[in-house]
Structure 1
Amino acid sequence: MDHRTVDVKYNLITDVFVTAGNVHDSVPYLSRLDRQRNVGFAVEAVALDSGYLTTPICKGLEDRKIYGVIAHRRFHPTQGLYAKWKFTYDAERDLYVCPQKQELPYRTTDRNGYRQYASDPKQCASCPMLEQCTRSRNKRKIVTRHIWEDSKEQVRLNRLSKSGKRLYRKRKETIERSFADAKQLHGFRYCRLRGLNNVIEQALMTAAVQNMKKITLHLERRA
């Protein structure tokens, strides 16, 4: 998949990176972002689609002091069971509260960085909403929360803010327009040759042509 970084002021493509078919675009994102910063681009804010809404990216943006706006990703909970958002997190006491007001205290953290909050099976056994909450044999409900979840929640708040909404709208005029032009006007809808190196070459050439057109138009307006 072609990943692009665009300068918002002039809508120039400043980075093109093609990932292999078995690698998600989000995996190399932070390293490509650092590459942009290392060559002199002062990145203050980024607007990304929902595929980039991962805890490592959200934490990475926070550590780099970059304002991140990422589209909402729709998760589909198990049909018939409560969605996670119905469980309220109490940050001061570090526990979750279920829809029936039972507390789920912290239990342990797994090797992937997810903290587990578990209910009391004795209380759950007599709960009238048990079948809508969990199907575990021991009647215990477990809710997980990543250790970097706070960073992810901040990105969600950014998306809902006025500046976040304005920035994401700008993405449609830059990133999405760049992809659309590449596909519609420059033959990038299909790869001309097989192999990752050949696709990278096509992506770079396409981006170069798009940038030359934009620079020419900009110079013409100045003249």
Structure 2
Amino acid sequence: MDSTHIKANANKHRFTKEMTYIEAKAFQDELEDEINVQRQKEGKRPFIWDMGSELTDQGISNADPESGYNVKGEREKHFAYPTHTACDEHGFVLDVVVTSGNIHDSQAAVQLVKKVKRGFLEMKHVVADAAYKTPMLTRFSSQTHVRPVLSYTRSKGKEEFLSLKLYVNDEYYDCYLCPGNQELTFSTVNCKEYRKYKSDPKKCMLCLLLNECKTSESNQSTCLGNVC
């Protein structure tokens, strides 16, 4: 599964600026409810989701308002329609979803997987690049018994600290193990839909890797994992 753009028959210099709401991501409401349920179990306040933060300033084409403004370098600015295509392992097209410019990739991906699954019940995997690597698509795929195979995303962090890819996830015990062989246990779910894990600061104080570890001022190591 991958996406490309079909150029719209619209002048890229003729548009108006409008404040519009970003299209909701697939399963967004369900994930937000799950986050708050988890936080309430921990005795923490639920998040109040700010809909105003979803407003964005978008360029709307005068000729084709449903298209979206696509930017890929100074020479590749144009209004276009994102097209999401699913192929089998031989390169034959199984189905296509064409959306307007304000539809999030995860929303289109869910629609496409639904369509292909209806036509090909034997489908067991969906392969896509990092643009589709969202909690929403992962959750939907697992619910429909389709395994998502998504591109590896390089761990982000400062060079002077230990790489986050050195932290090992133990799914059975729902924890992470740091390079110092210390356990990071589940703490909470943050507002960005990630599960947060923390170490025991008393053990971190005695660790030989303390100065190389990404820790807080309280000498506590943290690690983030996906909600799903």
Q: So what's the TM-score if we normalise by structure 2?
A: 0.52
Instruction: Please name the residue that 2:95 is paired with.
Output: 14
Q: Are residues 1:88 and 2:168 paired?
A: yes
Q: Distance in 2 between matches of 1:86 and 1:138?
A: 21
| Distance change (3 Å), C-alpha of 1:10 and 1:143 | closer
- Paired letter, 2:127: A
Q: Percent identity?
A: 25
**Shift of residue 26 of structure 1?**
3.0
More strand by share: 2
Q: Say which SS state the counterpart of residue 131 (structure 2) adopts.
A: helix
| Distance change (3 Å), C-alpha of 1:137 and 1:103 | same
Does the 8 Å CA contact 1:7/1:14 hold for their aligned counterparts? no
Q: How does 1:1-223 map to 2 (within 5 A)?
A: 1-6=82-87, 11-12=92-93, 14-20=95-101, 24-38=104-118, 40-42=119-121, 44=123, 45-148=125-228
**Shift of residue 141 of structure 1?**
1.0
Q: Distance in 1 between matches of 2:171 and 2:147?
A: 23
Instruction: Please name the residue that 2:47 is paired with.
Output: none
- Say what the alpha-carbon RMSD is for the aligned residues: 2.9
More helix by share: 1
What are the Cα deviations for residues 16-38 of structure 1, in whole angstroms up to 9, with x where unaligned? 41452x65423421123224445
Larger RCO, structures 1/2 (Cα 8 Å, 6+ apart): 1
- Paired letter, 2:209: M
Unaligned runs of 5+ in 1: 149-223
- Paired letter, 1:11: F
**Shift of residue 109 of structure 1?**
2.8
Does the 8 Å CA contact 2:110/2:137 hold for their aligned counterparts? yes
**Shift of residue 56 of structure 1?**
2.3
Q: Distance in 2 between matches of 1:19 and 1:77?
A: 35
**Shift of residue 80 of structure 1?**
1.8
Q: Say which SS state the counterpart of residue 78 (structure 1) adopts.
A: coil
- Paired letter, 2:92: N
Q: So what's the TM-score if we normalise by structure 1?
A: 0.53
What are the Cα deviations for residues 45-93 of structure 1, in whole angstroms up to 9, with x where unaligned? 4322222222321222121122433332333332222222212233343
- How many residue pairs match? The answer is 146
Larger Rg over CA atoms: 1
- 4+ residue runs of structure 1 moved beyond 4 angstroms? 7-10
Does the 8 Å CA contact 2:155/2:165 hold for their aligned counterparts? no
Unaligned runs of 5+ in 2: 1-81
What are the Cα deviations for residues 83-108 of structure 1, in whole angstroms up to 9, with x where unaligned? 22212233343322221122222222
Q: Distance in 1 between matches of 2:155 and 2:96?
A: 30
Instruction: Please name the residue that 1:172 is paired with.
Output: none
| Distance change (3 Å), C-alpha of 1:2 and 1:43 | farther
Q: Say which SS state the counterpart of residue 85 (structure 2) adopts.
A: strand
Q: Distance in 1 between matches of 2:176 and 2:126?
A: 31
Does the 8 Å CA contact 1:102/1:119 hold for their aligned counterparts? yes
**Shift of residue 139 of structure 1?**
1.7
